[in-house]
Amino acid sequence: MENASRDPESEFVHLLVNHQSMIRAFVISLLPGAPEVDDVIQNTNEVLWRKKDEFELGTNFKAWALSIARFQVMAQQQKVRRSKCVMLDDDVLDMLAEEASGLDEQNLNRKMADLQDCIGRLSIKDQELILHRYWKKAGLSDYARATKRSVGALKVALHRIRGSLKTCMEIKQSLVAGKVNS
């Protein structure tokens, strides 16, 4: 336990807050591009809070929290399945959950910093498009009108930008792997 002077509820809140980015990354990895990600994270936090008395301080909070998050993802997928949408089957979800739970906070933070650096290398116009599309989660129609570009041109630009970001991230990953292997 990090701080023995904290009362159990304060310690739980501390753990919950410190693991939010990990929970978010985990849920996003299991529901990539799904609009329900924030709902699943909210539901996960509600369940974690309701079950806080079941968590034993000093044990693996990350494993416990990600297990609950995984069940919330499965519940969400069950809802979506009932609405006739295509979702990952449970075996694929289990495989992704196992892989995603192996992420550590430091690795996640490094990747986020790398992504910010890669985005910073884009032109201002491309950065604005990325900001509009992914951070504001807005549609392309309004942005197309505002920038006097066609939706098709924006889709092509996004495809090109994602390719550039992927290449940049791969280069950064290979540099990190090279340092680890040195």
How confident is the model over 113-135, as pLDDT tens digits? 788 888 888 899 998 888 888 77
Q: Are 68 and 108 in contact (CB under 8 A)?
A: no
Sequence-ordered list of residues with C-beta below 8 angstroms from that of 79, at least 6 positions apart, any chain: none
Whether the pLDDT of residue 68 is over 60: the answer is yes
First CA to last CA distance, the chain: 34
Q: What is the pTM of this model?
A: 0.48
Predicted local distance difference test score (pLDDT) of residue 2: 46
Percent of the chain with pLDDT over 70: 79
Sequence-ordered list of residues with C-beta below 8 angstroms from that of 109, at least 6 positions apart, any chain: 21
Q: How confident is the model at residue 104 (pLDDT cuts 50, 70, 90)?
A: low
Predicted local distance difference test score (pLDDT) of residue 71: 92
Predicted local distance difference test score (pLDDT) of residue 152: 92
Q: How far is residue 164's CA from residue 43's CA, in Å, rounded to a whole number?
A: 35
Sign of CA dihedral 163, 88, 19, 36: positive
Q: Which of 59-63, 72-76, 110-114, 122-126 has the lowest mean pLDDT?
A: 110-114
Residue 73: CB atoms within 10 Å = 27
Whether the pLDDT of residue 51 is over 90: the answer is yes
Write the CA distances from 145 to 41, 56, 133, 155, integer angstroms: 33, 54, 14, 14
Of residues 115 and 62, more confidence is placed in: 62
Tell me the average pLDDT of the chain.
Answer: 82
Write the CA distances from 55 to 13, 27, 89, 168, 182, integer angstroms: 12, 20, 29, 40, 40
Give the chain's domains with CATH numbers: 8-101 (1.10.1740), 105-181 (1.10.10.10)
Whether the pLDDT of residue 50 is over 70: the answer is yes
